Amino acid sequence: MHTAHRSPAITLTARPSGDLQTDLLVIPIFADDDLADEAGLDRASGGEVTRARERGELTGKPFDALVMATSFSDWKTPRVALVGAGSRKEFTADHLRRIAIVGGLTARQRRLTRVAMLDRIGTSVATAVAAQVMAEGLSLANFDGAAYRTSGQPRSWIETAEVRISGASARLNDALERGRVLGEYSNHARALANEPGNELPPRVFAERAAGIADAVGLTCEILDEQRIAQLKMGLLLGVARGSQEPPRLVVLRHDPPSAVPGVVLGLVGKGITFDTGGISIKPADNMDRMKDDMSGGAAVICAMSAIARLKVPVRCVAIVPMTENMPGGTAVKPGDVLTSACGKTVEIINTDAEGRLVLGDGLWYARELGATHLVDVATLTGACVVALGKTTSGLFGTPSAWVEDVRRASERAGDRSWPMPVFDDYKDQLKSEIADFTNTGGRAGGAITAALFIKEFTGDLPWVHMDIAGTAWAEEPKPYQPKGATGVGVRTLVELALDAPAWSAQNLKS
Ligand code: BES
Ligand code: MN
Ligand code: ZN
């Protein structure tokens, strides 16, 4: 296996474009852009900017990249990448983040190791936000999915990146570092989700989680199958029964010195290292993708590590139940009844609805450890993909003010998400003749009934469930998102933790 990612050294610069000593200068280009603030560029390009515009090649269409030489005057950088930014009026931080990714990927395709990037004047993006998202994007570009490829050219990485921000502001260096860390830990999560199931069984996933967490000084505990049995986590054990690989449960704690008083953020992630469906086995087509069924768990582990790395002043506890979901002679069967750690009983109708089971025990444990506010992240339902597609995660939860806190955090993070209802009306679909409820509610509203199942284990704490089944993996490559794991959720959870001073003051009683 090769290292899947590197963190570039990112610094601020104030130099004019022609003085930047770099291999590639990335410049966002708006639709109808006269480039008045970069007057030297056309001359440096030998008039190529004007000619490209006349040919219709330089329209500012979002994320189109055009590379040209700048060797026609005394510019120190030999080339620029002009990356489309769309209309200046509609320009957002998310555009800037994606432009940074496109610019960074363009450099790496050309095996260029030094990158510089400018923020253009006259947009509504605040300077500190611009610094953060540019650093995020340049970090995110330094990821390679082909970790097991032994042939072809050696990988090329961005070593150094310089960022120029228009307009002064204090704390730009903090913003830059925050962005770099968010990119780095998103990449850690992508690397974990990309790992094949054979390389990342629960024991290995737990060890990898501990390694990432230890490096930033988090307290990490790995519960083995005996400890899990002592805690009577019958749902997690039920899912694990069909597998040769024992389950694990990872607990991370962040207990910073001057934390926001009175609140503990509880993060729970689905850690199914491979989901065959179990006895209710999945069809063969695309089953390989189910190696990423631990993306929620990876997001939680990596977000916690970033939170610790950035010394975010809020207490957090993270729980990731880890297991395979396999068929076999000892596997849980449809019709079986499992008893959860909190005592509620579940009739298993479909063994492929395993995520909600491990989350049920995980959420209970987060409460046991003192969480006051819960967020779970999971590749939970195909139904959520049908409802919202592959760019938007589903948000479910209560009270709506807490859902809105998470939604706004996801917007700042560039992880799109949207609220879905959790009306009690749907609960009838989970009625069991023999137990407290079933684990599936039929096809209608499948993402919602899954959320209602999970809600049974939240003990009426403020809780949000983020269904990332559609967003964790990119099937179609985009200029700013290569195929494969996306790292969705990491930046949302960190932004949420950073926002603790605001949400801890809310009265969230439902
Ligand atoms: N891991 C899957 C959900 C999933 C589907 C993630 C597609 C990513 C892409 C989950 O464990 C599952 O199998 N869910 C079932 C639930 C059903 C049996 C009620 C589903 O969505 O089909
Ligand atoms: Mn499943
Ligand atoms: Zn699953």
Residue 357 near ligand 1, beta carbon < 6 Å: no
Beta bridge partners of 136: none
CA atoms of 271 and 240, how far apart (whole Å): 11
Sheet with 337-339: list strands edge to edge. 337-339, 345-347, 437-438
User: Rounded to whole angstroms, how far apart are CA atoms 293 and 472?
Assistant: 9
How do beta strands 65-69 and 79-86 pair? antiparallel
349-377, pLDDT tens digit by residue?
999 999 999 999 999 999 999 999 999 99
Mean pLDDT score of the chain, rounded to an integer?
96
Catalytic-residue membership of 51 = no
Look at residue 3 in the predicted model and tell me its pLDDT.
81
**pLDDT tens-digit map of 449-486:** 999 999 999 999 999 999 999 999 999 999 999 999 99
427 is catalytic: no
- Pairing type for strands 473-474 and 393-398 reads unpaired
Is the backbone peptide bond immediately before 247 cis, with ω within 30 degrees of 0? Answer: no
Estimate to the nearest angstrom the gap between the alpha carbon of 509 and the chain centroid.
28
User: Over the Cα atoms of the chain, what is R_g?
Assistant: 24
Among 114, 208, 356, 367, which one carries the catalytic annotation? 356
Is the Cβ atom of 381 under 6 angstroms away from ligand 1?
yes
pLDDT of residue 2: 75
d(CA 190, CA 485): 5
Nearest-atom index, ligand 1, CA of 280: 18
Report the alpha-carbon distance of residue 103 to residue 107 in Å, rounded: 6
pLDDT at 306 over 70: yes
Q: Which ligand 1 atom is nearest residue 384's CA?
A: 21
Residue 510 in this model has a pLDDT that exceeds 60: no
Distance CA 121, CA 119 (A): 7
What are the two backbone dihedrals, phi and then psi, of residue 486, each rounded to the nearest 5 degrees?
A: -100, -20
Query: Cα separation of 186 and 184, whole Å?
Result: 6
Reported as a single tens digit per residue, the pLDDT across 63-77 is 999 999 999 999 999
Q: Which of 375, 369, 377, 405 is nearest to 393 (CA)?
A: 377
Q: Which of 380, 429, 465, 471 to mutate to test the pocket of ligand 1 (most atoms within 8 A of CB)?
A: 380
Q: Is 379 in the pocket of ligand 1 (CB under 6 A)?
A: yes
Cα of 491 from ligand 2 centre, angstroms: 25
> Average pLDDT in the 288-316 region?
98
**Residue with CA nearest ligand 1 atom 3:** 381
Of 1 and 263, the one with more pLDDT:
263
| Separation between Cα atoms, residue 359 and residue 4, nearest integer Å | 29
Cβ–Cβ under 8 Å, residues 381 and 450:
yes
Determine if ligand 1 sits within 6 Å of the CB of residue 273: no
Instruction: Determine the residue type at 214.
Output: D
Sequence-distant (6+) residues with CB within 8 A of 193 are 291, 292, 294, 295, 298, 472, 473, 485, 487
- Using N-to-C axis directions, what is the helix angle for 490-498 and 172-194, rounded to 10°? 140
Mean pLDDT to the nearest integer, 160-166: 94
Task: Name beta bridge partners: 160.
Answer: 9, 114
pLDDT for the residue 301: 98
pLDDT score, position 410? 98
DSSP secondary structure string for all residues of 219-230: EEEEE-HHHHHH
Beta bridge partners of 271: 322
Query: Mean pLDDT throughout 325-338?
Result: 98
Average pLDDT of the residues in 144-148: 93
Q: Are 502 and 396 in contact (CB under 8 A)?
A: no
Asked if pLDDT for residue 435 goes beyond 70, the answer is yes
